[in-house]
Amino acid sequence: MEVKLHDIGEGMHEAEILHYFVEPGQNVKNDEPLVEIQTDKMTAELTAPADGVVEELRFHIGDVVEVGTTILSLRTDDYEETQTMIVQREQKQPMKTGASSTSTKPYNNENPHKRVQASPHTRRVAREQGVNIEEVTGSGPSGRITDEDIYQFLKAPSKPVSEKSTEEAQPKEQEERKFVPFRGRRKQIAKKMVKSLHTAPHVTHFDEVMMSDLLDLKQQLKQEGTSISVAAFFIKAIQMSLEEHAIFNSKLNEEQERIELEPHFNIGLATDTEEGLIVPVIKNVEDKSIELIHKEMKELTAKAKENQLSAKELSGGTFTMSNVGPLGSTGATPILNYPETGLIAFHKTKRMPVVVNEEIVIRDVMNISFIFDHRVADGAKAATFVNRFIDYIHHPSKMLVKLV
């Protein structure tokens, strides 16, 4: 029985082998995890389709395989006979390597991607402290590495270096250059960005919005015991603005020569993670309150950081939002999340003097960038869409009036 890489997500074409849970000759039960893979959007596990014995692992860890490729094979009868056959075969020949393999090392479940149990925050601490997290022993449940384990590793005395090894050390300028593997999600992001930029003519519309009234409302709600993030208001304002300017909630079907207006408003949240950019989607925003949007947004963002999003949570987007203001951005020209027509990015909010009713006052002002596909819409429509969004932010009570 062959276990193949099947399509576990929208638009998936290939995946990288991250980790094997089994070895040749090992008995497995139906639905038991066999191999962990990394697509451009998520990490997932492929499970056994039936009880059996692992017969052959056909790829190395780190190999990239295409959908439909057999990753490993199982024998589902004659357990003892199969195990004897596997031992004999392993003694005669090495494991096969796929055509897309970049490794010539024998199968090793610890190399090059050691399965390290650690949170993204702990991994970040390790990088900032210059610690190879694979060398740290975890003290948490199931060997999970904690922040404290990193700091204890730093406190441990380093191994002495002999005079001979010091003398033989190469000059710094002759040391081998470090590199970052260009594969997995990073490679898939690159492919998607190139396709988007080369397919859709991008236009960016810049504007600014005064945030003072919305921030006052947010503070008032917090005092009353309801904490709502500003981003949740943004999502609702986007959806309401799209209802009046549906052309930006569409996708261009060039083959059938038509612009397809989406029936629902599914807003993607561009999220930065350890493995790269990922876009979880809040579905049917038109049917949800700002409070519910806030709750779903927090849940999806947390799952994205822990690499626990499902294919369903990553598919079906009709419009994308990028909130880079908390990172300090003052402006940008992002690339569309193709084949969507529009993307809006929010930048840093600054307190600055503005003229209101012929008077100079201090207000909270935020820059915004709206990127759209010029094949589908023109600049005038983009300006009216952004103006409507700004109106909702300037007068947030208008959003509350329209809530179901």
Statement: the pTM of the whole predicted model exceeds 0.75: no
* 85, 201: one domain: no
Classify 258 as helix, strand or coil: strand
The structure tokens 């494991």 sit at 95
* 124, 261: one domain: no
Cα distances (angstroms) measured from residue 54 to each of 22, 25, 31, 48:
7, 5, 13, 10
**Is 180 exposed, middle or buried, given 0-12, 13-18 or 19+ CB atoms closer than 10 A?**
exposed
Domain presence at residue 172: no
**pLDDT given for residue 403 in this prediction:** 63
| CATH number, position 254 | 3.30.559.10
In the chain (404 residues long), the average pLDDT of successive 10-residue segments reads 79 79 90 83 82 91 87 76 50 41 40 54 73 82 77 72 50 68 78 90 96 94 92 96 97 94 96 88 95 95 88 93 88 93 96 91 95 96 97 91 64
* 138, 188: one domain: no
Q: Read off the pLDDT of residues 193-244 as tens digits, 9 standing for 90 and up.
A: 998 999 999 999 999 999 999 999 999 999 999 999 999 999 999 999 999 9
Q: Tell me 335's DSSP state.
A: P
**pLDDT given for residue 178 in this prediction:** 81
**CB–CB of 201/353 below 8 Å?**
no
* 335, 193: one domain: yes
| CATH number, position 70 | 2.40.50.100
Tokens matching residue 360 = 């100079």
The structure tokens 């409507």 sit at 388
Considering its fold, how many domains does the chain have in total?
A: 3
Beta bridge partners of 53: 27, 75
Beta bridge partners of 366: 209, 349
Q: How many CA atoms lie within 13 A of 349 on its CB side?
A: 14
Report the chain's terminal Cα–Cα distance, integer Å: 52
Which residues are part of the catalytic machinery? 374
In 147-289, which ranges are continuous DSSP H helix?
147-155, 163-168, 184-199, 212-223, 230-244
Helix axes 379-394, 230-244, angle to 10 degrees: 130
Structural domain for 135, as ranges: 116-157
* 366, 275: one domain: yes
| CATH number, position 125 | 4.10.320.10
**pLDDT given for residue 9 in this prediction:** 63
Domain presence at residue 102: no
**Residue 250 φ/ψ, nearest 5 degrees:** -140, 175
Domain presence at residue 97: no
* 324, 394: one domain: yes
